[in-house]
């Protein structure tokens, strides 16, 4: 005697099929596929977009969406990074020499521009494009991490450098934590400071992290929290396209 089909199971299988088909047809971006796993803000309590965001989107929104789609990045993530980096000021220059909307260091800009047959200059469009490429590269640097872990690690690397984050991953692994989880790396970043040199001597033959001591971890932790906060707001308040 044949058992009756489980209607719920059939519905779930059909849903999985169409979701998979949608991914194949639309080519979901890295940031969309590994979207930040945070609590979605209820529709009736979504914060109003501030005036600065509206002004930026009016002038540069279409350009940022286009370049983000070109390189497979959720444009709202790029917007969150851009806001945290420069507060929407195209002429921003940091104390360390980072420039423009996405605060690109000249050395990074020259390297990326050379690879992608571009010229590194002060043009806002070029700055956004190079920043999106760099963010894409940071996302690709953590293939073993998923969801919010991948995004947080990539955002941290955008801020303090990929090698810094990899040093923190090495400490996390040494301590028996998951090096692919942001919570583990977040706890390990402070351990890159000179204060923990006795620990570091057990991990690196040189006795210190690959990228040297890191005492500005607090700035990176705040940076990641802020970017994820803005990204969650933008995901709720702005359409994907």
User: In the chain, which residues have pLDDT < 70?
Assistant: 1-48, 240-241
Active site residue 28: no
The pLDDT score that the predictor gives to residue 163 is 97
If 0-12 CB within 10 Å is exposed, 13-18 middle and 19+ buried, where does residue 196 land? middle
Rounded to the nearest 10 degrees, the angle between the axes of helix 147-160 and helix 162-174 is 130
Which position among 28, 85, 119, 216 bears the catalytic label? 85
Rounded to the nearest 10 degrees, the angle between the axes of helix 124-140 and helix 106-115 is 80
In which region does residue 105 sit, left (phi positive, over 0), alpha (psi from -120 to 50) or beta (all else)? beta
The pLDDT score that the predictor gives to residue 50 is 86
The pLDDT score that the predictor gives to residue 49 is 81
196 — phi, psi (to 5°)? -105, 30
Q: Tell me if the pTM is above 0.85.
A: no
Residue among 132, 142, 47 nearest 81 (CA): 132
The pLDDT score that the predictor gives to residue 127 is 96
Identify the CATH assignment for 43-237 out of 1.10.760.10, 3.40.50.2020, 1.10.530.10, 3.30.300.30. Answer: 1.10.530.10
């Amino acid at each position: 005697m044949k058992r009756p089909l489980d209607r719920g199971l059939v519905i779930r299988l059909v849903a999985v099929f169409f979701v998979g088909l949608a991914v194949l047809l639309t080519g979901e971006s890295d940031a969309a596929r590994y979207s930040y796993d945070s609590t979605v803000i209820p529709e009736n309590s979504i914060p109003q977009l501030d005036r600065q965001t509206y002004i930026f989107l009016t002038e540069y929104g279409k350009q940022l969406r286009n370049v983000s789609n070109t390189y497979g990045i959720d444009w709202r993530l790029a917007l969150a990074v851009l806001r945290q980096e420069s507060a929407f000021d195209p002429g921003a220059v940091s104390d360390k020499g980072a420039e423009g909307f996405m605060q690109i260091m000249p050395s990074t800009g020259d390297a990326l521009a050379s690879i992608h047959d571009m010229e590194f200059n002060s043009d806002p469009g070029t700055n956004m494009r190079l920043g999106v490429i760099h963010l894409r590269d940071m996302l690709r640097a953590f293939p073993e991490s998923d969801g919010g872990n991948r995004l947080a690690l990539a955002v941290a690397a955008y801020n303090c450098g990929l090698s810094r984050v990899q040093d923190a991953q090495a400490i996390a692994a040494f301590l028996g934590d998951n090096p692919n989880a942001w919570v583990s790396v977040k706890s390990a970043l402070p351990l890159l400071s000179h204060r923990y040199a006795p620990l570091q001597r057990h991990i690196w033959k040189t006795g210190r992290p690959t990228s040297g001591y890191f005492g500005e971890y607090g700035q990176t932790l705040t940076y990641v929290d802020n970017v994820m906060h803005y990204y969650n707001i933008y995901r709720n308040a702005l359409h994907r396209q």
